[in-house]
Structure 1
Amino acid sequence: MAKLSTQISMLFVVVTLVFAFVPVFSVEEVEAKTLWDTCLVKITPKCALDIIDVVFGNGIISDSCCHGLVGEGKVCQDTLIKYISDRPSLITKETLYLKKRDDLWTHCVSISKTV
């Protein structure tokens, strides 16, 4: 029961972060929002936070999160990072974040191929 409560709490944190970082969606972005929602459901809350921390901070990602990220596909990762990096407070470093996103993807693909 405690594990379920922790998972629900982590999911709440991720959803809160998403709404804090993601700009209000316009009608043209309904398809992108659907993809975003699909990705959030499939990647564990801890892995989503780890991915965000690697790209926007100096975090590290576990091999299991790399496997999950690669399993979901590059589109999910690109969507997650692009929406966050488009925030006005982060846009000045968007190029850096997109490079870190691509470096993370390359790292995770290499991890997934070795196991």
Structure 2
Amino acid sequence: MATKATKENDQIIKENNCEIKMGLPCVLEAFTSIFKTGSISNKCCGELVVLGKVCHSALIKRTLENPLFKDLSPAIIIVKSIQTWNNCLTLIDSPPSSA
């Protein structure tokens, strides 16, 4: 079953170009704020919101499936990822217009 989830997440990530929407510094910042401890800057919050919730969720789930992170509690990580997402939405009052 885990393999199927990985394939779905990979598919979502590929279809939405999730991995190229955020710069590496912000990816690391978001990662640290969710998987370790730390805060995410306004700039990176902006990038996270542009990335979108679908990408955000898929990337978190895929990371959780990595054996390197097997000691982490998925429940805690999901809560932290939602908190980070919501904090960023609050910080970024309105997403930048794509026009």
Give the TM-score range, shorter chain: 0.7 to 0.9
Give the number of aligned pairs: 92
Aligned counterparts, 1:1-115, within 5 A: 28-29=7-8, 31-35=11-15, 38-88=17-67, 89-90=69-70, 93-113=73-93
Long gaps (5+) in structure 1: 1-22
Q: Of the two structures, which has the highest relative contact order with CA contacts closer than 8 Å and spacing of 6 or more?
A: 2
TM-score normalised by length of structure 1: 0.67
**Residue type at the aligned position of 1:96:** I
Long gaps (5+) in structure 2: none
Tell me what 1:4 maps to. none
Q: Write the distance in 2 (CA, Å) between the matches of 1:104 and 1:92.
A: 17
Identical-pair percentage: 26
**Residue type at the aligned position of 1:54:** S
* Greater radius of gyration (CA): 1
Per-residue deviation, residues 12-49 of structure 1 (Å, max 9, x unmatched): xxxxxxxxxxx98899545234147x111110001111
The answer (yes or no) to whether the contact 2:46–2:88 under 8 Å persists in 1 is yes
RMSD: 2.9
SS of the counterpart of 2:73? Answer: helix
